[in-house]
Chains A and B, each alone.
Chain A
């Protein structure tokens, strides 16, 4: 048996490990290139941006572009847009975490009339095409007076509950049952069981839901673009697409804008990259539980 597993190991290694590693490193480098290029350009000074043969690593790294971006408020709304994005994503994450946790608990742990019926409806609604969903949403938000309002988006984003609900339901299903039974014998009610018994076990699920919602809201483009008319309300993911316009307009040289633009892109990417790298072990879990919708 030992010899068999050795042959397997050798066999798995056989398509020469170093070829595999070399090509993967190459693919990863190509993957990272646009991001590295942006970050590096944001750290270059004017002189270096002008050079005919740009290099990937800035020779005199400077934070000048960032200082310019944050201090010249008359030319850039990026700090305000960043703040808007932070507000929206934190609001949506909090609401989504609470609603998905409560509903997931009910669907997994409580028995009430029509529960399975509702669950089937939720699944079936995922099959139905959202014809004119955006148009109808626009009308609805106008009617409710929630267009051009951050509150509207904070309510709208977490309403797409399906995936988060499935993740939380799956989480609560895997909490050991014995604990709950013991708590019931001790006379605990539904709330006690939810808060003190099951929720501590479900923290992982809440983290997964929160991360996915944060990344979704931070990067969401189409809905925010449609529902927000005023530049001062825009999120950073909308604002960055308009930078080339203003920088070309307000600055004498396009290149001066180039560094600042890259600084803005870096600021817009930084939060999601940080969350992703720090929380990466949660992603596989969210993907396995969240995408099995068929």
Chain B
């Protein structure tokens, strides 16, 4: 008995959000009819649940209220939970905030630079690693490709900042050896700063997706390939008609994870050692701008920052929804 019920939960979970909400309502309605069961259960979940409610649950609710109030950290009068509410004033201000839209545009550009290339590249690396016959070699490649993922993001960015250094950095030394006359001052020029920020981000994150793709590829039954081989499919056809379609769940997951870089903050803050957003604010992503609004500038306008943050969250949900929709309909 105890074994069967969690599996129902897992089934519901794999059916998507709507199923989870439906099952949640069902459970809520039938809660009174359920048996109390083993009361130790409450004791065992208590530490995790209490910590979750205090440190995760409460900030979600509080942040939502903040997004509709003129909360300023340095002005205590503005901090009332209900009395601080100011309707949609923050949202109207956001609509007219040029800096926000510029930073949002930079965030979109950053995502557009980062996402397609990284997806293709990590798929490419994953397919190649999956073709390696020698198991030791394959695992060495996996470990090395994944290693940047585990490094602290700030250290990784600082290491790259050293490589980018126009005088002492190894990158420009290499470029000069290759015959490039005037290698760019990567982090110092407004034209290059955003690109200079994209490269380490790709380096830092592609290994994670490579591993997800690899897990997906290893899970594809080899019999499918055998059947295709009997039908005379060549390597490219196998990739196109078997590997790609069967990796669809992995693609969904990766696109959803990848859309999160819209609110990328840390990369820029670590590379430029603060919230300046790089030369001429050319790498000021929306995440950095809202961080600056909340924690660095003026009265520390946390309410307005929460508004921007909620806006980014909604954008993220919309993207996730689109990804799910397109991935589902194509399969049908």
Whole-angstrom distance between the Cβ of B137 and the nearest chain A Cβ: 7
A182 within 8 Å of B by Cβ? no
Q: Is the CB of B310 within 8 A of A131?
A: yes
Decide yes or no: A110 and B37 within 8 Å by CB, A131-B313, A280-B143 being known contacts: yes
Q: Is B17 part of the contact surface with A, judged by Cβ < 8 Å?
A: yes
| A124 in contact with B148 (CB, 8 Å) | no
- B contacts with A, residue count (CB < 8 A): 121
Taking a contact as CB atoms under 8 Å apart, the answer to whether B150 and A161 are in contact is: no
What residues of A have a CB within 8 angstroms of the CB of B48 in the complex? 99-100, 102-103, 161, 165
Interface centre among B40, B160, B265 (most CB of A within 10 A): B40
Chain B residues, CB < 8 A from A128: 60
Q: Are B229 and A113 in contact (CB under 8 A)?
A: no
**Contact pick for A272, options B6, B37, B151, CB 8 Å:** B151
Residue of A nearest to B157 (CB): A241
Asked if A219 and B147 make an inter-chain contact with CB atoms under 8 angstroms apart, the answer reads no
* Binding stretch for chain B, among A12-20, A60-68, A199-207: A12-20
- The reply to whether A136 and B306 contact each other, CB–CB distance below 8 Å, is yes
The answer on a CB contact under 8 Å between A20 and B35 is no
Whole-angstrom distance between the alpha carbons of A190 and B43 in the complex?
Answer: 11
Q: Tell me whether B66 and A34 are in contact (CB under 8 A).
A: no
By a CB distance below 8 angstroms, the chain B residues around A243 are 158
Residues of chain A lying within 8 A (CB to CB) of residue B291: 134, 222
Name the prevailing secondary structure of the B interface residues.
Answer: helix
Per the CB 8 Å criterion, the residue count for chain A at the interface is 117
Expressed in whole angstroms, the Cα–Cα distance for A27 and B38 within the complex equals 54
**Does A59 sit within 8 A of B, measured CB to CB?**
no
Interface residue ranges of B42-69 to A (CB < 8 Å): 42, 44-45, 47-49, 51-52, 54-60, 62-64, 66-67
Interface centre among A111, A243, A283 (most CB of B within 10 A): A111
Interface membership of A232, Cβ < 8 A: no
| Interchain CA distance A22-B90 in the complex, whole Å | 55
Q: Which residue of the partner chain, among A13, A32, A133, A269, contacts B144 with CB atoms under 8 Å?
A: A32
Task: Write the nearest CB–CB distance from A260 to chain B, whole angstroms.
Answer: 12
Contact of A129 among B16, B79, B128, B313 (CB under 8 A): B313
Q: Would you give the shortest CB distance from B272 to chain A, in whole angstroms? A: 9
List chain B residues, Cβ under 8 A from A238.
Answer: 154
Does A35 make an interface contact (CB < 8 A)?
A: yes
* A120 with B23, Cβ < 8 A, contacts A129-B313, A161-B51, A244-B273 known: yes
Residues of B within 8 A of A8 (CB): 222, 225-226, 229
B132 at the interface (CB under 8 A from A): yes
B152 touches A132 (CB 8 A): no
CB-based nearest A residue for B313: A129
Q: Mark B129-165, 1 if CB is under 8 A from A, else 0.
A: 1011100010111011111101111111111111100
* A21 with B132: CB separation less than 8 A: yes
Chain B residue at smallest Cβ distance from A53: B173
**Closest A residue, CB atoms, query B208:** A287
Docked Cα-Cα span, A287 to B207, in Å, equals: 12
Residue interface bits A220-240, CB-to-B below 8 A is 1, else 0? 011001100000000011101
> Which B residues fall within an 8 A CB radius of A?
1-3, 5-9, 12-14, 16-17, 20-21, 23-24, 27-28, 31, 34-42, 44-45, 47-49, 51-52, 54-60, 62-64, 66-67, 71, 73, 79, 125, 128-129, 131-133, 137, 139-141, 143-148, 150-163, 168, 170, 173, 177, 200, 203, 207-208, 211-212, 215, 222, 225-226, 229-230, 235, 252-253, 256-257, 265-266, 269-270, 273, 291, 294-295, 302, 305-307, 309-310, 312-314, 316-317
Please name the 7 residue pairs, one residue from A and one from B, whose CB atoms are nearest each other, closest first: A129-B313, A132-B306, A219-B152, A132-B63, A112-B41, A131-B310, A159-B55
